Structure 1
Amino acid sequence: MKMAKIGLLLDEQTANKKWAERENVFAFYMKEVLDHFGIPYQVISENTDPMEEMDLLIAGLLNESDQAVQQLISYIKNGGAVLHLSDSPKLARWAGCQVDCGGPGYGYPAKELGYQKPVRFLKTNHWYRAAPADWNAKEGFLTDGSPEGPVIGELWMTIMAGSGKMVHCQADLPYSIVGLQQGLEPIHRDGVPAPDGTAGIDDGLLKADDSFTMDWSCDRETTDTGMNYFSEAYADRWREVFYHKLAEMALEKGLTVPFIGRWPAGIDQIATISHDSDFNLEESAEVTLSLLKECGIHSTWCMIEPGYESGMYKKIKQEGHELAYHYNALEVENGVWSEMEFKRQLQDLKTKTGLKHFCTNKNHYTLFKGWGELFEWCEKEGIQLDQSRGPSKKGNIGFLFGTCLPYFPIAWHTEKNRKYDVIELGFLTQDLNHHALADTTVIEPFLEEVQRIGGVAHFLFHQLHLLEQPKVGEAFRKVVREARARKFEFWTSEQISRWERARRRIKIDRLAPSGEPELSGEAPTASPVIWVPVPKHANVLGEEAEIRFGHLCIKKIPVFKQAQTS
């Protein structure tokens, strides 16, 4: 099979107009979605690039001029396939529809994806006809407001024209993915607390969870011991829903869309442990080192000012752990939210540890203000991964931000919705079995969801609580046991950052006639896996094949062709 040539339609003129009017264009986040899968694509703007060369066109942002709309319609009628992700009123009228951009609800995707629960979205781009139209439940459907709300319509609307077709997504995928991961507004005020009193995020401190977009009633589950948690990685699932439809459309044309596996060959999911060194007690560091040695894992140590004595830093490094930064902007501890203070504390840590570079940061108390200030500071100071987006309360743990994947966040419209060069890797919970926090009954559902996604299970344990509360240490051991039983590999944040950046430098150039993928770029230290979707009834005898994102895929571990350099 040949690899589909994919175009991502993002009209520059329309984007610039929206940015000038202080509007976000989250459609630009589809570049990050495609980059994460490692799918080759070309960005198309109606004014600059010919779309006729594309086998598949992902329509993220259209120019609404008559000429541009007609150009897209001609592409479809001449056999083109369009996966449409925006509202596009003129295109809707061509399809005989009206547009209704509604609010949150839940999507029930195609059964091939095997989801047991619906997926939360934050906005619809609903196209509807004046009279009720027949629609195909196999395409999935949407409900308004809650999982049991009234049915809005199908998830995917197919419009046939000439020898081609357009498939319109009625849920706004990029808006929902960004909103779930990063919120929909900069953080300038407290968030809305849980109505049952289990998560009082309105505590006068501006934190990452003040911008969450989950529903307290619909999106939490409860363990047998009464622990409330957000159970679904919705943003990650929307990525899968998108890929499933993209690959389906390619296969219909006799083409395929290979993608790069999330982890090296032999690894399906990752677990990571981080510590925040609050109070900086050397005794707590010794207890933590002993526990890590007992469990045989390495972890990430986020150090808060003034830190440990130099000898302890040396010991932590010698035992193979990652030293990281724990920025403190908490005012009651004389912290300040500013770029200057961020830089000063980091420089102090560099001086005391003798390290010139730190890969990872996590903000003390998960403090977070604005939209992208923190990511800008990280970029400038060479911080490659941030861990600040996690829950601060007992009752909002789990998949609060809809993801367990390492991802690159998007900027606000003031920076033209660019992608920050900082990986965000949130955590699920902290200090299990702490007398004021959740118990270990959440470990199993957390690991099961991460395993299903193929992501990262990130648990935070403070050294202080490992010292003072033995039950927290017991929870630590249980996390390690349960993760290993499910074949999780333990990595530090720095290892995760290195791999994620390395795999994104891999380029799938083509599929050879034999079906083997030909790669270029910088070869990573570990072998990547390339998955190649094939028709569901294909003969895969002699191949290693699995169902991935609802499609039969052949697993390839290719011989890497090093890119030429001059």
Structure 2
Amino acid sequence: MVDRKAAERRWTYGLNVFERYMEEVLSHAGMAFQKWESAREAVEASPDVLIAALAGEDEETTAVLWEYAERGGTILSCGGLNPFAVKLGSELAGVYGSGYARFGEAYGKADSVRFLSARPWRVKDAGQGLQSELGLLHKESPDGVEIGAALQQFAIGQGRLVRWSVDIADTIVRLQQGTEPVLTDGVPARDGSGPINENILKADDRCAMDWDHDRLHTETGYPYYAYPYADYWRELFLGRLLRTVVDKGLTLPFVGYWPEGIRQVAMISHDSDGNQDIHAEATLELLKECGIHSTWCMIESGYSPSIYDRVKAEGHELAFHYNALDSQNGKWDEAEFDRQLEWLKKAAGLPQVHSNKNHYTRFEGWSELFAWCEKNGVESDQTRGPSKKGNVGFLFGTCHPYYPISWSNEQNRLHDVVEISFTTQDMDLSPHWSDSSIVLPFLETAAQVEGIAHFLFHQVHIQGKESVRDALRKVVREARNRGFVFWTGKQVNDWHRARRKLAVLSVDPQGAVQVEGAGEAKGAVVWIPVADSYQPAPGEAVEERFGVRCRKQSVASILSV
């Protein structure tokens, strides 16, 4: 539920409603849900579980939701429903910016998980409904002052409130898309490894990570952002949602991230800076040697027509490399984006270009780039990645494809563009960039969250340096050793969109699942959460997903409509 009246009040004052992104969190997880725009509308539908993404704090809304819970309903909230606090023997402890949540053994993928906004409650009388607490929030740093529990559960009549202190949707959005629109240079790293204050506006100028707390170093001493915090918060929220559903004796089936037999994906892309055919030829030979396909982001003036023909014939994707770098005759301008894209279509004989990555990760504003992509039928973007050796890694908190959200001036709509961020580029090129010691941490972390390990290699450096060629070989070798499958950007985009069209309609008493839209998502898998006591049938696959036991069904074996 996103309360329309409360949202419009915020938009009137130019404030964001990133709570709307909870819809994307659920859709990305492959979960079916209904949407409501008021508490009364939601309660009249009698849902088993109500996610109150945004609720007004007026008396009527509070009363309607409280009564729903008293009758046996379960409400999930992320930093909201503050009028409930006094009724539950609690009070708002404060409104906080960034900090870290610690979950101990309850979540083992990170010692602490960065958040960007939180509204914890302080319990004054535990006898007024508090059932349990999980995790601790620390102000500003992983070892900062404790400011409250990360998660609290309260009994309300026959129902309950499950309340995260962290505004999870806001945290995910700003980790992925930045703290605010890019209008000025960012703050550089104190150790000199990330001089992003170069008077060139880029995606990383509003990175929400902390230079000191969120980086680790490889065995050779190179720093990297180590934690896809946005992916961690997704897992934490979804895990608690599924546990809540299962504890009610219900289930909530969801579509797996990847097709049957694939748990994580690796991706190689190239930017054609320099535009010499010899660069392309060397790259094609190396890709053939490695047996993979890649995405080629083309900057004007491009290669000879014969190169484009060969790239397409050998199964690679031709994509766009928009140049908005003033020093190289580029410009941040919608008409210029359109012009350069039209050049590529004509030069390479492409009726449609599916993917883009901006030259030098140039970026301005909030989501104007995505609007330009939408207008031109560019379905996927790869611009969000590092520009310096000191901020390689998961600097935007995710290694999953996702749909970005607009600013308040567009009422925080979702853009129809799949963002696929990248982790690094051109390893073992020079001391000014990272070495290949970062390959294993990136692969292992992407595998940990079933995401994409996306590496960028410029053709000019592949042709010019054997060390860069060896780094690409290492990526391919180590990725395959860990079960990664190599896809192009278009393949990721196509699968992501097809998977989103697949909807789980129902589960009958015998546990059979009915789905809709399975035609395009070949090989899709559905996971059905079950109780801890569930005894699988002979040959039935049961795995833990988001911390909850789930039985597995391939869509091919499921009744489709």
- Normalising by structure 1, what TM-score? 0.96
* Matched position secondary structure for 2:404: coil
User: Which residue of the partner structure matches residue 63 of structure 1?
Assistant: 56
Paired residues for 1:152-171 under 5 Å:
152-171=147-166
* Matched position secondary structure for 2:212: coil
Q: Does 1:540 align with 2:536?
A: yes
User: Which residue of the partner structure matches residue 114 of structure 1?
Assistant: 108
Amino acid at match of 2:121: W
Over 3 Å counting, the alpha-carbon distance change for 1:538 and 1:45 in structure 2 is same
Q: Does 1:32 align with 2:24?
A: yes
| Distance apart, 1:141 and its partner CA | 1.9
Contact 2:48 2:73 in 1 (8 A): yes
Contact 2:133 2:151 in 1 (8 A): no
Contact 1:358 1:383 in 2 (8 A): yes
Amino acid at match of 1:533: P
Q: Does 1:51 align with 2:43?
A: yes
Cα deviations across residues 349-392 of structure 1 (Å, max 9, x unaligned)? 11111111000000000000000110000000000000000000
User: Which residue of the partner structure matches residue 74 of structure 2?
Assistant: 81
Distance 1:151 1:22 in 2: 32
Over 3 Å counting, the alpha-carbon distance change for 1:138 and 1:18 in structure 2 is closer
User: Which residue of the partner structure matches residue 494 of structure 1?
Assistant: 490
User: Which residue of the partner structure matches residue 380 of structure 1?
Assistant: 375
Distance 1:525 1:222 in 2: 39
- Which residue, 533, 551, 555 being the options, matches 2:552? 555
Q: Does 1:127 align with 2:127?
A: no
Paired residues for 1:269-348 under 5 Å:
269-348=264-343
* Matched position secondary structure for 1:44: coil
Distance 2:534 2:368 in 1: 50
Amino acid at match of 2:350: L
Contact 1:520 1:560 in 2 (8 A): no
Contact 1:87 1:126 in 2 (8 A): no
Question: After TM superposition, which residue ranges in structure 1, 4 or more long, deviate above 6 angstroms?
Answer: 131-138
Amino acid at match of 1:457: A
Contact 1:107 1:141 in 2 (8 A): yes
Over 3 Å counting, the alpha-carbon distance change for 1:111 and 1:511 in structure 2 is farther
Contact 1:135 1:154 in 2 (8 A): no
Contact 1:108 1:142 in 2 (8 A): yes
| Distance apart, 1:63 and its partner CA | 1.7
| Distance apart, 1:272 and its partner CA | 0.4
| Distance apart, 1:135 and its partner CA | 7.8
| Distance apart, 1:137 and its partner CA | 7.9
Over 3 Å counting, the alpha-carbon distance change for 1:110 and 1:180 in structure 2 is same
Contact 1:105 1:146 in 2 (8 A): yes
| Distance apart, 1:561 and its partner CA | 4.5
Contact 2:272 2:460 in 1 (8 A): yes
| Count of residues in Structure 1 that have an aligned counterpart in Structure 2 | 555
User: Which residue of the partner structure matches residue 5 of structure 1?
Assistant: none
Q: Unaligned stretches of 5+ in structure 1? A: 1-8
Amino acid at match of 1:410: I
Distance 1:105 1:349 in 2: 44
Distance 2:190 2:382 in 1: 27
Amino acid at match of 1:123: S
Contact 2:513 2:559 in 1 (8 A): no
Distance 1:29 1:57 in 2: 16
- Which residue, 62, 77, 102 being the options, matches 2:96? 102
Over 3 Å counting, the alpha-carbon distance change for 1:511 and 1:449 in structure 2 is same
More deviation in 49-58 or 408-417? 49-58
User: Which residue of the partner structure matches residue 528 of structure 1?
Assistant: 524
Contact 2:514 2:560 in 1 (8 A): no
Cα deviations across residues 80-106 of structure 1 (Å, max 9, x unaligned)? 000112333322233333222111111
User: Which residue of the partner structure matches residue 197 of structure 2?
Assistant: 202
User: Which residue of the partner structure matches residue 33 of structure 2?
Assistant: 41
User: Which residue of the partner structure matches residue 349 of structure 1?
Assistant: 344
| Distance apart, 1:109 and its partner CA | 3.3
Distance 1:378 1:109 in 2: 39
* Matched position secondary structure for 2:282: helix
User: Which residue of the partner structure matches residue 254 of structure 1?
Assistant: 249
Q: Does 1:18 align with 2:10?
A: yes
Cα deviations across residues 205-242 of structure 1 (Å, max 9, x unaligned)? 00000010111111000011001001111000100000
Distance 1:30 1:72 in 2: 19
Distance 2:479 2:349 in 1: 34
Distance 1:466 1:48 in 2: 60
Distance 2:185 2:393 in 1: 20
* Matched position secondary structure for 1:175: helix
Over 3 Å counting, the alpha-carbon distance change for 1:368 and 1:461 in structure 2 is same
Amino acid at match of 2:453: A
User: Which residue of the partner structure matches residue 402 of structure 1?
Assistant: 397
| Distance apart, 1:556 and its partner CA | 1.0
Percent of aligned positions that are identical: 45
RMSD (Å), alpha carbons = 1.6
- Which residue, 214, 234, 240 being the options, matches 2:229? 234
Over 3 Å counting, the alpha-carbon distance change for 1:432 and 1:485 in structure 2 is same
* Matched position secondary structure for 1:320: coil
